[in-house]
Amino acid sequence: AGLACKAVRDGDEWVITGQKVWNTLAHIADRGMLVARTDPNAPKHKGMTYFALDMHAPGVEVRPLRQITGEAEFNEVYLTEVRVPDADRIGDVGEGWRVAMTTLSNERTTIGGGGGGVPARGSGAIAEAVRIWNEEAGPATKTAVHRDELVQLWVRSEVLRLTNVRASQNRKAGNPGPEGSIAKLEFAKVNMDIYEFCVDLLGVAGLAGYDFEMRRADNLGLTGPPGSSRKM
């Protein structure tokens, strides 16, 4: 609720000034989601309003942020007296927090995989680990300890899949629940553990012949938005 954007109404428009950070793909987006404080005197989670922002409007400046993977998927967005039509307001004035929480619930469900069953990255990760175990791992690493670890990773992936199914059903019913947050949290953790397992199984070949470290870094980034894993 510590917003860095304020919006002042001017007739049928809102004049918005401030800054947003960690905006995913804002540099290629035509529209953005924006929550701005419209009543500075209201309590912390009140006085906020939700807008659909034209990313090409005058006064909108987007600055990409380089991340641990070397890519720049996230951005800082600076708003300088940007005029937003009241028609682009989503929900009632002062109800931005409620709308934002609904948005986040749906976003977490999508990241966790509830948008379409099992996410490709999630199912692909455990499937690749099983393939490596069957086809590439040497006798020295195919120990009982590693076998048990692989089984545990498969169980976690299957639990994640079933959680995704429940989250998807709730989302389609218009009632995204905590399952989406749980799936998002576990999705990043289980994939990082799978990639670490693959590197451990293959040794140096796992670092030289695969992009496991890049994929692990990519999933590490998912422990942040939307909603840090430490807070969920």
Any idea which architecture 101-221 has in CATH?
Answer: Up-down Bundle (1.20)
- The model's pTM: 0.61
Which residues does residue 48 pair with via DSSP β-bridges, in sequence order? 37, 95
Cα 21 from Cα 50, distance rounded (Å): 16
- Identical fold for domains 5-94 and 101-221, yes or no, is no
Contact yes or no for 119/222 (Cβ under 8 A): no
The single residue of 61, 81, 95, 107 carrying the catalytic annotation is 107
pLDDT in tens, 73-131: 889 999 999 999 999 999 999 999 989 887 776 665 555 454 433 344 456 788 888 98
Cα 68 from Cα 72, distance rounded (Å): 9
pLDDT in tens, 159-212: 888 887 777 777 677 766 676 677 777 887 888 898 889 888 887 776 666 666
* Domain over 5-94 is classified CATH 2.40.110.10: yes
Q: Percent of the chain, pLDDT > 90?
A: 38
Residue matched to tokens 């953790």: 189
Cα 106 from Cα 177, distance rounded (Å): 9
In the predicted model, what is the mean pLDDT of residues 4-11? 94
Domain boundaries, the chain: 5-94, 101-221
- Give the model's pLDDT for residue 81: 97
Is 107 labeled as catalytic in the residue annotation? yes
